[in-house]
Structure 1
Amino acid sequence: MNTLHAPRTRALLDRLFAAAEHDDVAEVSPIDFAAASAQERADAVASVYMPVSATGGDLLYALVRGARPETVVEFGTSFGISTLYLAAAVADNGTGHAYGSELSATKLAAARANLDEAGLGAHATLLPGDARESLAGVPGPIGLVLLDGWKDLCLPVLRLLEPKLAPGALVVADDTTFESMGDYLAYVRDPANGYVTVAFPVEDGMEISCWT
């Protein structure tokens, strides 16, 4: 079974990706992103999708199907495009649950509506607020993590989740070509920190790391 190819899921993903193609940074509220808080940045881009690529989404689906994790965690849900891939895989596995996190109340409501439209709402719980707080209560062991929120917070969120990672857990970080991912990449690429990791060539780059 592949829920990604169910008519209502496919139609929804196609519509969301089409909308994301019209992302306009000119619509972002004029703030100093370097000085702004995570919440202020989230509010400024509340209308911007910033999704994973379709290829990246297929990769996430395949990883969840193959690993069959009981708990999937996502940092940075946005409008829920990546969450649809994760929830579809959990649903098709017949086991597990996905937990997402989102600072923007606007995006959170939209993501929940998108999951419900796809019939996947029962397979994912979306948590409001700062992921460094909201994800602290997610039950372990965690079998797969997607890091796709603010890049300067990817490493702190990973460190928060590490005590709950299952042996062999997969950690996928998106947008690894961004300069702001430098500290994160240095951390997971240092064998002393417990990961075997590989760069994956999708749009804007992904890093796939296995917790050893």
Structure 2
Amino acid sequence: MSVLTDTALQDRIDALQAQSTAQEAETNRYFGERAKKGDLSWDGLDDAANRFMADKMVALEPIKAEFCAMLCRALRATRVVEVGTSFGVSTLYLADAVRANGGGVVIGTEYEPAKAAAARTNFEAAGVADLIDLREGDLRETLKVIEGPVDFVLMDIWTEMARPALELVHPHLRPGAIVVADNTGDFFRHAYRHFFEFVNEPANGLKTMTLPFQGGLELVVKV
């Protein structure tokens, strides 16, 4: 049974998820070949990798997106921040949850203009564009202004941008707010080290646990 309130929206998301899944073999092959050559860095993608990924959806897995939607419902979230919108698939889950909670806003961020354009098309087609504030550009600029307390944050971004994003959103987290970060398990753990340094600093008032989803999913709570 879908966690979404709109069955037509579920059908639209299923189609987008299928497109994303179809790209995975090409993406895995590309990074596998780069890894064999030893020319990948834990500290970020180079220009060639960024160009390769510019048209890739890389949608959050359905089970993780559903989990985030359920957390938003449980929090009665009305102000959500999504760091790394891509084509907007996970954004649709978040917007549906915010709508079910009585309305609010999902603040999205996307660096690639083509992805932002595709996301806006998806939002309009799904009838949730009025719930989404998609900000195009470098997140270190787009997240400088966040009006009001934040209930929930989804971070599905390249690891080198995780800490800068969290530092910008952190002052706006209300007590009990949740931050979810994708792929924090063993393989990418070292790449997330700067993110975890911030999370584990006692003065920041955060508690965290790595959940056993595929690749690891970090659940961070503002206490």
Structure 2 length normalisation: TM-score?
A: 0.84
- Cα deviations by residue, 1:138-195 (Å, 9 ceiling, x for unpaired): 2121111111112111011101111111111111111112141233234324544311
2:222 corresponds in structure 1 to 211
2:150 corresponds in structure 1 to 142
Q: How does 1:162-201 map to 2 (within 5 A)?
A: 162-177=170-185, 178=188, 179-201=190-212
Corresponding pairs, count: 209
The aligned amino acid for 1:15 is: A
1:11 corresponds in structure 2 to 11
* Cα 1:139/1:173, change in 2 over 3 Å: same
* Contact kept? 1:195, 1:209, Cα under 8 Å: yes
* Cα 1:165/1:5, change in 2 over 3 Å: closer
Any gaps of 5 or more consecutive residues in structure 1?
Answer: none
The aligned amino acid for 1:18 is: A
Give the secondary-structure state (helix, strand or coil) at the position aligned to 1:169. strand
2:56 corresponds in structure 1 to 48
Quick one: distance in 1 between partners of 2:51 and 2:168? Answer: 24
Q: How does 1:63-212 map to 2 (within 5 A)?
A: 63-177=71-185, 178=188, 179-212=190-223
Give the secondary-structure state (helix, strand or coil) at the position aligned to 1:161. helix
Quick one: distance in 2 between partners of 1:38 and 1:132? Answer: 19
Q: Percent identity among equivalent residues?
A: 35
- Cα deviations by residue, 1:24-66 (Å, 9 ceiling, x for unpaired): 22679x9x77487888865441221111111101111001111
Any gaps of 5 or more consecutive residues in structure 2?
Answer: none
Give the secondary-structure state (helix, strand or coil) at the position aligned to 1:51. coil
Which 10-residue stretch deviates more, 182-191 or 107-116?
182-191
Give the secondary-structure state (helix, strand or coil) at the position aligned to 1:149. coil
Structure 1 length normalisation: TM-score?
A: 0.88
2:22 corresponds in structure 1 to 22
* Contact kept? 2:103, 2:131, Cα under 8 Å: no
The aligned amino acid for 1:9 is: L
Quick one: distance in 1 between partners of 2:108 and 2:79? Answer: 11
Quick one: distance in 1 between partners of 2:138 and 2:118? Answer: 18
